Amino acid sequence: MKLLEKRLFYVVLFVVVILLMSGCATAPATLSFIQPHENTPQVWPTEPEVARYRYVGELIGEENFQSTSEDRKNFVAQAFKWLVGLTSKKYQPKVLQRPQNGLVDSDGRILVTDVSRQAIYVFDKKNGKLDIWEMAEKNRRFIAPSAIVEDGQEGFLVADAELGMIVRLDREGRPQEVFADEIVVRPVGLVRHVNTGRIYVADVREHNIKVLDADGVLLETWGYHGETIDAFNTPTYLSLFNDQLYITDTFNSRIKVLDLSGEVLKIIGKRGLYVGDLPRPKGVAVDTKGHVYVMESYYDHLLVYNQEGDLLLPIGGSGHGVGQFYLPAGVWIDQENRIYIADMFNGRVAIFQYLESDMISSTY
């Protein structure tokens, strides 16, 4: 009985505190990129070379959202959690587990697919909150969401590799319809051409690229299983730049660049043991200056190439510190040329800022 009375006292006290605070303006939570305090380089390359990239920070989960009235926020949150029992072992904080890919949408939200959490994390800067989208259909959860793109109709398309389908969500993450299922087997890469509305899908199981129209109708299928110039061996990630499709041909250790008719324009990278080679390439993206970014997961590097396929700069190495990665997966870029890296087994998204320079002509 005494315990119950004590709890009731604290409940009343908590309500009084909330009422007192309600008369004060409460600043909304803001999205901040976490920067570990380490004695490691924050720019690449280091002096005496000219810096081309700066480390911005990382996304890990709800800890990225902070209030200007931090003490008040922490007190209220901790008091509330204690009262309702959220500080017990059952309470699970909202943190990234195994991020795989993502995008920055037209509202500035950072959306991250997480194959371990089986969900999509939505870092909403404007509204100061973290949302988690779990449902692929009304009665079916995501299992392995691998890629997400805006659909051009105020919603999103999400490829789930394990479900073997692409689904459409509305702007708030509510399931709308199955966009494609019988024509894809294990979709991993997904990209949409803004002007034509066509959707390009990397089907890992069938070793090909499928081209769909805006309604999910199959228009073309490119490639087959093999090692020749027109073949693929486990294509995974995709990116579009200047009407050119960049495809990570993972087990062929290369990036293939195709035009919109499916013709091979060029090959970037090769199998090898040196930095700049691509034994296990994963994510691929191209910034507004034409730099090509490839996540090399075997040696845990972000590799930067020019349009000719020359290596400009490697960033990384295996580890948990700033500028290090542990089995990285996808990479994507926003309109400000920030590079977002799904550092999968470090459970974070690492963010770098490209520093304006005439890097495109550099060779290093």
Per-position pLDDT tens, the chain of length 364: 454 455 444 444 554 444 444 444 456 789 999 987 777 769 999 989 999 999 999 999 999 998 755 444 554 555 455 445 544 556 578 999 999 999 999 999 999 999 999 999 999 999 999 999 999 999 999 999 999 999 999 999 999 999 999 999 999 999 999 999 999 999 999 999 999 999 999 999 999 999 999 999 999 999 999 999 999 999 999 999 999 999 999 999 999 999 999 999 999 999 998 988 999 999 999 999 999 999 999 999 999 999 999 999 999 999 999 999 999 999 999 999 999 999 999 999 999 999 986 444 443 3
Q: What is the pLDDT of residue 66?
A: 82
Give the per-residue pLDDT at 356: 81
Q: Are 295 and 302 in contact (CB under 8 A)?
A: yes
| pTM given for the model | 0.87
pLDDT tens figures, 229-275: 999 999 999 999 999 999 999 999 999 999 999 999 999 999 998 98
d(CA 120, CA 100): 10
Return the H-helix or E-strand segment holding 51.
none
Token representation of residue 194: 């803004």
CB atoms within 10 A of CB 22: 8
DSSP secondary structure string for all residues of 134-155: -EEETTEE-S-EEEEEE-SSSE
**What is the rounded CA–CA span in Å between residue 316 and residue 303?**
9
- Tell me: cis bond preceding 45? Omega within 30 of 0 counts: yes
- DSSP letters, 258-299, are E-TTS-EEEEE--S-SSBTB-SSEEEEEE-TT--EEEEETTT
Could you tell me how many helices (H) and strands (E) the chain has, helices first?
Answer: 2, 29
- Domains and their CATH numbers in the chain: 30-361 (2.120.10.30)
